[in-house]
Amino acid sequence: MSIELIIGILNVILISTTPLVFAGIGELVTEKSGVLNLGLEGLMLVGAVTGFITLVLTGNYFYSLFLSIISGVILSGIFAFLVLNLMTNQIATGLALTIFGIGLSAMLGKKFAGTPIDGLNPYYFIVISFLLVFFVAYFLSKTKTGLIVRAVGENHNSAYALGYNVFKTRYLTIIFGGVMSSLAGYYISICYAPMWQEGMTAGRGWIALALVVFATWKPWRLLVGAYIFGGVAIMQMNLQAIGVKLPGQFFNMMPYLATIIVLVFISSNKLRLKINAPSSLNIPFEKNQ
């Protein structure tokens, strides 16, 4: 293998992994506050299509980015209202969001499928994704607000008793996660592809979800994990090209299998689970009790 080829592969890995970092870091913050949002795939698709349509109609990158973010705020706001105020089941609500998002994005985008656009340079977003991980790591471990987010995720009753606003904290973390998923989608349709196609996020939302667990809810590990997951996917294509006989599907299932193994490892020990996973994850907060 020549140096150019290796640099080329690394470049492709860098460009293709960024959506995982965005969606993953958003979901990490949401889960740190104790909420499991399974709607990533739907949020990404709607973010992707909103940005794309706006760009085609206005030709303005700023508007398209702005509306893509707004779509994330609205959809994750609805999710937050349902799971926080109406105390609905987080799993079912997240799945509803994904199914709804797949349908909505396909409907909105139909007229625009195949429209050519000038893509944005992905490197801006790649740099931002690294800064974002740094920011989230700093925020969660070093700032007071970050500690409140973690306290709410560990034990919402104690956090509430201490006077922290559980609802407000979770609203903000859910919306942050939603916006990050929209950005991941925006990146895919505007920078990575750049085009719109029905279901174009191709399951990245689910990989991002696995990634958060794989990283045991730690931002820097998430960054490393994202590049491992992204790298495996790209290496698989290149290994096929140079004639390695292992089936490609084997590589594709690696992220999911690795996540299960990590999950077994941290869950099998009570203390380890306590250190790693947010204890209130997926437990609704009922103020009236």
Partner 1 sequence: MVYLIRVQLREDYSNLIFYLSPLVAVALTLFFGSFIFLILDLNPIESFKIFFISPISNSYGISELFVKATPLAIIALGLSYCFKNNIYNIGAEGQLTMGAIFGGGIGLLFNDSTSVFLLPLMILFGAIGGAFWATIPAILKTKFNTNEILTSLMLTYVALFILDYFVVGPWKDPAGYGLPKSMPFPDVGRLPVLIDGLRVHIGVYFALIICLITYIIYNKTLFGFKLKVTGLSSKASQYAGFKYKNLIFYTFIISGACAGLAGLFEVSGPIGLLYRDISPNYGFTAIIVAFLGRLNPFGIILSSLLIALTYLGAEDAQLFLKIPSAVGFVFQGLVLFFLLGTDFLNKYKVFIK
Residues that bind partner 1 (CB under 8 A): 36, 38, 42, 78, 82, 86-89, 91-93, 95-107, 110, 198, 203, 206, 209-210, 213, 247, 249-250, 252-253, 256-257, 259-260, 263-264, 267-268, 270, 273, 282, 288
Residue 72: CB minimum distance to partner 1, A: 16
For partner 1, the closer CB: 191 or 233: 233
- Cα Rg of the chain (Å, integer): 19
Nearer residue to partner 1 within complex by CB, 61 or 256: 256
Strand stretches in the chain, DSSP E: none
Nearest residue (CB) to partner 1, 14 versus 263 = 263
**Is the Cβ–Cβ distance between 21 and 132 less than 8 Å?**
yes
Place of tokens 């020549």: 2
What minimum distance in Å lies between the beta carbon of 136 and partner 1? 21
The CB-of-210 to partner 1 minimum distance in angstroms stands at 6
38 three-state secondary structure: coil
Considering beta carbons, is residue 95 or 239 the nearer one to partner 1? 95
Q: Which is nearer to partner 1, 191 or 212 (CB)?
A: 212
CB of 169 to partner 1, least distance (A): 15
What is the dihedral angle through the alpha carbons of 38, 41, 43, 47, rounded to the nearest 10 degrees? Answer: 170
* 5 alpha-carbon distance from chain centroid: 30
Spell out the long-range contacts of 2-11 with Cβ–Cβ below 8 A and sequence spacing 24 or more.
Answer: 9/234, 9/235, 9/238
Instruction: Choose between 16 and 240: whose C-beta lies nearer to partner 1.
Output: 240
3-state secondary structure of 284: coil
Q: Residue 189's closest CA among 204, 174, 169?
A: 204
Residue 91 Cβ vs partner 1, minimum distance, rounded to whole Å:
5
**Smallest separation (angstroms) from partner 1 to the CB of 47:** 16
